[in-house]
Amino acid sequence: MITIRPFRDEDAQTLSAIYRRAVQELGPKKYGSEQVAVWAGLEPSPARFTEIMNDGRCGLVAVDDSDQVVAFGDFERDGHIGFLYASPDVAGTGVVATLYAALEAKAKSQDVGKLYSEASELAKSFLLKQGFTVVERRDFEVNGVPIHNFAVEKRLRAPR
């Protein structure tokens, strides 16, 4: 059974490991080896994850029966989703959908007007199923390696 709970500082090491595994094991489905390598190189350290998840954003984790983190996500006060990652062991099992639903419910309860992100090819297909729309494809370079993602957004309420 999966439970969604707030991030705790002691989760940071696992978040780094999930990020690394997700990029290295799932990334090659949509990106070349050089692209995966530069993406993996952006992995936040556990100390950085602790800092990020305590900066005022909403950080949630999905945990199994042993309270082991298997996925994590966040949104900043303005609705920006910085992370939505799952262990390859639970990819495609509905864990991320459960986690995302909790993030969206929390965003709505905080009167966030829209959620938006820069989605990888992998995340894009998932987020489209959650009602997001693609704003644009973003082509850029990381350490000289061309890579791309997609600006995506989902309105949670009408603009004021």
CB proximity list for 3: less than 8 A, separation 6 or greater: 62, 63, 67
CATH class of residue range 3-155: alpha beta
pLDDT (tens digit, 9 = 90+) per residue, 3-58? 999 999 999 999 999 999 999 999 999 999 999 999 999 999 999 999 999 999 99
Give me the residue spans of the domains in the chain: 3-155
Backbone Cα Rg of the chain: 15
pTM of the predicted model as reported, rounded to 2 decimal places: 0.95
The beta strands (E) that lie in 53-105 are given as: 58-63, 69-75, 80-81, 84-86
pLDDT (tens digit, 9 = 90+) per residue, 100-143? 999 999 999 999 999 999 999 999 999 999 999 999 999 999 99
